Structures are given as structure tokens and as C-alpha cells.
Chain A
Amino acid sequence: MKNALNAAFPSAVLVAVALTQMVRAHQIDQSPWKGGGFGMFATVDAPGARILRCRVLTATGEEAADLPDRLARRAAITRVAPSEANLRILAEELLLLRAVRRKSPLRTEMGATRTEEARSAAIRFVGPEIPLPEGYEEVRVSAVNLELWRLDFDGGSLRIGATRERGVTVERRIP
């Protein structure tokens, strides 16, 4: 009995994990590239072709926000498996952090690139235990909107386009 179990066990584990990955790919849009199902190099839908865009609602309106490094793991999981639940968890974790903004952001007129300008103007999230960085002001965020965008490739025209797939908005519970 033990011999029979040993003989079948590694293959059974491989099949179980690979089938789980296939089911998750169809149910919650998990990327075929990740999760042990051997779907890498089979589709352009790699985690790198998925983008998480974050916008926050402040007193002055909706503003773009940068995802913080401290939530990089959670953001990577959300990109690979972008279920509504995962998007919501990430948005809720962002609301637990402190939102800050540069008092005087870089501008292209000052020699900054457009990317530097956008990054510098974006809301940043820092840990509540970290003192306010110099040159920044605290911003009150009342809601976080997280969107998943996907890069699609048209083989005929050779165009890559970014399209919005889904998104969630989470409001701060205690005003």
C-alpha cells in the first residue's frame, strides 16, 4: 500500500496543482503563467501585461496614486489573480496607510520627464508609523479606486492597447 502511494504521489500532486491552476485561471482570471500549471509561454497574458491603476478621492477631487513598496507582495498577488476580492483587499490595505502629496511637484518646465512629473504629482502612501517626509503634506483620502488594465496585442496591426478590465472602489468606513 505504501509503495503504491509513493509511486503515485508525485504525479498526483503535479496534476492536482496544475488542475487547480487551470480552474483558477478560468474562474478568477489567474494568469496562466503562474501557479504551477505549465501555462507559461502560451499566451501574452503574463503578469507583466496586467497593470494596476490606483486613484484616490481627496477634498480636491480624484487624483492618481502610486502603489507603495510595502504592499508590493499584495499588489503582485492581485495582478496575477485579479479577483474582486483581491482588488478589494488591496484597496482596504491602502486605506490603512497615510496618504501624502508633494507640496511642490516636479514639472516638465523644470526639466523633469513626463514620467517623473506624473510620479511626483501622484499621491504616495506611507506607513502610519513613519513621520511626514520633508516637503510633503498629509492628504485625507475618503475612497480608493483600484482598476485592473490589460495589454492586448493585435497581431495584424501590431498594436498593443491597454484596456480597463475591472475595478473596485472602497470608501473609508469611519469618517
Chain B
Amino acid sequence: MNRLREAVSAILRVFREAAHAERVEATCLLTMLLVVLHSGGAWYFQAPTALLAGIGLLVPRLRVAPSYWLAFTCILAFGNFYNWFAVDNHKFLMTWWCLAIYCALQARQPDAELARQGRLLLGLCFLFAVVWKIMAPDFLDGRFFRHAFLTDARFQTVAVYAGGVDREALVQNRVSVGELRNPLGDAREAKLASGPRIDVVAFLATWWTILIEALLAGAFLLPGGLRIGWLRHGLLLLFILTTYAVAPVIPYGWTLLMMGFANCPSDWTRMRAAYVAAFMALQVYGTPFKPV
């Protein structure tokens, strides 16, 4: 219990430090925490990233050294390409982000370059995400969300409270799908139980996702400088607070926040505070709604 309390207070200390630090320092500090906590469970991620983070905590100027971030990039790139068939997309994005920090720290103006890199990676990530969704017929007709709400434990809260699906029915749906997935089983078809509002919720989720991801891709990829800065950050925070409340994929949200934070000027104190609050909210989302 004491160790848990110490770990939580250490993380809070990092957040407090980050909220008051300069943009480059703060971004490096928070990214370091992101990599250590969420890069992967295998020893070849955990051991070297923990070692590097430990050195970075002891020698703060190392945290803004390009070679330090090249080392993180190499560790993540090796692990992710070795496991390309298993790792989720945000692990790739985390790797590109470490690479972006390495490149930005070598620029004449690291602060501006880091902001630009964050903007481009965010925009491209949302662009590809929305292109995939538009190309997938089962996303556009609402099948994806109907299927996810009825079978994926991560969406259970929405299925029960918004879709009106019975909790027992969801458990039965998952058992049926499990039987279909059994390569030695003879089940070939299953009928899912649903709820009275699941079609409406799936429809809203489908078009909300397409709309906000398209807007985010446009806002971050189109040039516009500080004039559309509020729009970019507002949309990103709205996306994170709505999306990850429904599907708490915390490391993904954290990675996106990281790049948005890097794009937020140091003197935009309220927006920076909103980012730090969003980091905290993500952790909260991840805890109580996790299916047991």
C-alpha cells in the first residue's frame, strides 16, 4: 500500500513539475513517464526504458539530449517491429513521437520544431484513422459499433447505460462469441442479444467518430498558426474526454495528449492546465470503468 502511495505521489510530482516547466522540458518529462508506464510489458521494453528513465531523473539535462531520445526510439522500434502483429497502433505512434523529439532537439529552435512535429503526427494519425473508417463498409453502416457494444467488454458501460442492454445478456454474448472462436469447437453461428437503444447509440457513435476525427485531421494538418490553436486544442481535448470515457485505451489517449501538449505554447497557461487535467482524467477513466 505504501509503495502504491509512493508511486502515485511520484507521478503527481512529475505532473506538477511538467505543468510549470518550459514546453520542451515538460514534454520530455511527460513522454518519459508515458514510455516507462505504457511502452510494453516485455522485459526488452521494461528493463531498458526503466533504466533510461532512472538516469533521466537523476540527470535532468540528459532528458533534453537528442541521443537520450534516440535510445528510447531504438528500444521502442525494435520491440514494436518484432511484435508488429500484436502491438496496438498507439505503440507505433509512441515510437514516432520519440523519434520526433530526437529530431526536434537537434533543430535550431527545438521548442517550435517540437510543436510542429506534434501537430503533424497528430494530424496524420487522425487522417489515416478517418480514411480507414470511411473505407470500411461495416463502420459506415454502424455494424462496427453495434458489434463492439454487444461483444467487447471495454464498451460494456455504454452498452448497459446508454444502449439499455442487460448485463447478463452481454455476458452470454461474450460466451457465444468465445465458442465461435474456439478452433476445436463446432459452433458456426450465434445470435447476439441487444438492447432497445443500441442502434441509436451505434449510429451516434459512428458519425460522431467520423466527424471529430475528420475535424481533428483538418485542424492539425492545415496551416493556421496560433489563430486556430484554440480550435485544435479544444477539439483534441473534447475527443479525448469523450472517446476515452467510452473506450478507456489510456496509453493511446496519453500519447495523443502528449503531442497536443507539445503544440500548446508555454504562455497558454489555462490550456496547459486543461491538458494536465486531461492526463489525470484519463487515469480516472481507466480505473472505475474497467470491466472486472
Chain A interface (Cβ within 8 Å of chain B)? 2-3, 6-7, 9-11, 13-15, 17-18, 32-45, 47-48, 51-54, 64, 66-67, 76-77, 79-81, 114-115, 118-119, 122, 151, 153, 155, 157-162
Contact = CB atoms under 8 A, between A and B. Distances in A.
Given A9-B103, A38-B89, A162 B121 contact: no
27 contacts: A2-B106, A6-B106, A7-B103, A18-B128, A34-B86, A34-B89, A37-B89, A38-B93, A39-B132, A40-B88, A42-B136, A43-B132, A44-B138, A44-B144, A44-B148, A51-B180, A51-B183, A80-B85, A81-B85, A151-B177, A155-B142, A160-B176, A160-B190, A160-B191, A161-B188, A162-B180, A162-B188
B147 A9 contact: no
A47 B96 CA distance: 24
Main secondary structure of the interface of A (DSSP, over half): mixed
A43 B121 contact: no
Interface string B155-187: 000000000000000000000110111111111
B272 to A, nearest CB: 23
Main secondary structure of the interface of B (DSSP, over half): helix
B103 A160 contact: no
Given A38-B125, A158-B191, A160-B189, A3 B184 contact: no
B177 A160 contact: yes
Interface in B95-135: 96-97, 99-100, 103-104, 106-108, 113, 116-117, 120-121, 124-125, 128-129, 132-133, 135
Interface string B184-220: 1111111111100000000000000100000000000
B107 A34 contact: no
Contact of B184 (A40, A45, A48, A122): A122
Contact of A118 (B150, B184, B191): B184
A53 B183 contact: yes
Contacts of A48: 181
A9 B148 CA distance: 36
Contacts of A44: 138, 143-144, 147-148
B63 interface: no
Contact of A14 (B125, B142, B176, B183): B125
A53 to B, nearest CB: 5
A35 B80 CA distance: 9
Contacts of B151: 160
A76 B85 contact: yes
